[in-house]
Amino acid sequence: MSDQRAIVVYSQVISADQSLPTRQFQLGDHFITLNQDKKEEDAQLSNVGTVVWEGAYVLCEFLLRTLDKGAWAGKTVIDLGAGTGLVGIGLALHGAKVTLTDMQHILPMTQANVDLNSKLLSEEAGTMSVQEHLWGSSTDHFRVPYDMIIGAECLYQPEHFEALLESIQGLSGPNTRIYMSYTDRGRGEHLFTPMLERVGFLVIKIPMAAMHDEYRGGRHHILRIQRKS
């Protein structure tokens, strides 16, 4: 019986494979194991969070490679639309205190992957918790502001951009760093940047040269966002 898993180091072909029920990703010294469940997309795209998207790996790889190794220790991070949890789990293993959020029906997958990788947490590592959060809903029960907000592949439905923006505003402060990744799919992804700028955020697109060389083809993008001083 074959072992239906893939270890992803740097390979676009394998990292795009959403058909495997279990996948492994190498991030630094850690091998993260993630379950996923490929489903047919419905009209509302309500089940897209049950697989690992390339943009999640693109964002996590960039953050762990470009920021100082000790930069994560004790930092509070909230993941908006965590899905299978790759980015949040990766940052927690490097010292961050991460809250992974998503819609209620996605959370069992998120929690299962957090549990699956919790054994990798050392005394020096961070923490992971899973909570429901619908974009645009109250943020009063969260410990705001967070040091960092992350969002991988969240820009796929422009009709939800306003709600996403409300969550970012409610969870961030003057010193919060925000990183978002997205893939050009012709779904109006570019419309989110002017929305951020209109409410006082500075948005910088990470140069392609700063991304891993396998993801410099122009489809994948990372935004660095912060409130204007």
More confident residue, 69 or 149: 149
**Would you say residue 183 has pLDDT above 90?**
yes
Architecture category of domain 52-227 in CATH: 3-Layer(aba) Sandwich (3.40)
The greatest distance separating any two alpha carbons of the chain, rounded to the nearest whole angstrom, comes to: 58
Structure tokens given for 25: 């990703």
pLDDT tens per residue across span 184-220 = 988 899 999 999 999 999 999 999 999 988 888 889 9
Q: What is the pLDDT of residues 38-93, one digit of tens each?
A: 665 544 445 555 788 889 999 999 999 998 878 899 999 999 999 999 999 999 99
Mean pLDDT of all residues in 127-135: 97
- 196-169-208 Cα angle (round to 5): 45
Kindly state the average pLDDT of the residues 128-147: 97
pLDDT of residue 11: 44
Sign of the dihedral through C-alpha 145, 150, 155, 157: negative
Q: For residues 75 and 221, what is the distance between their CA atoms, to the nearest angstrom?
A: 24
Helices (H), 51-175: 54-66, 86-92, 107-117, 161-171
| Measured distance CA(94)–CA(61) in Å, rounded | 12
Q: What percent of the chain clears pLDDT 90, i.e. is strictly above it?
A: 67
Amino acid at residue number 121: L
The string over 47-75, giving b where at least 16 C-beta atoms fall within 10 Å of a residue's C-beta and e elsewhere, is: bbbbbbbbbbbbbbbbbbeebeeeebeeb
pLDDT of the residue at 38 = 64
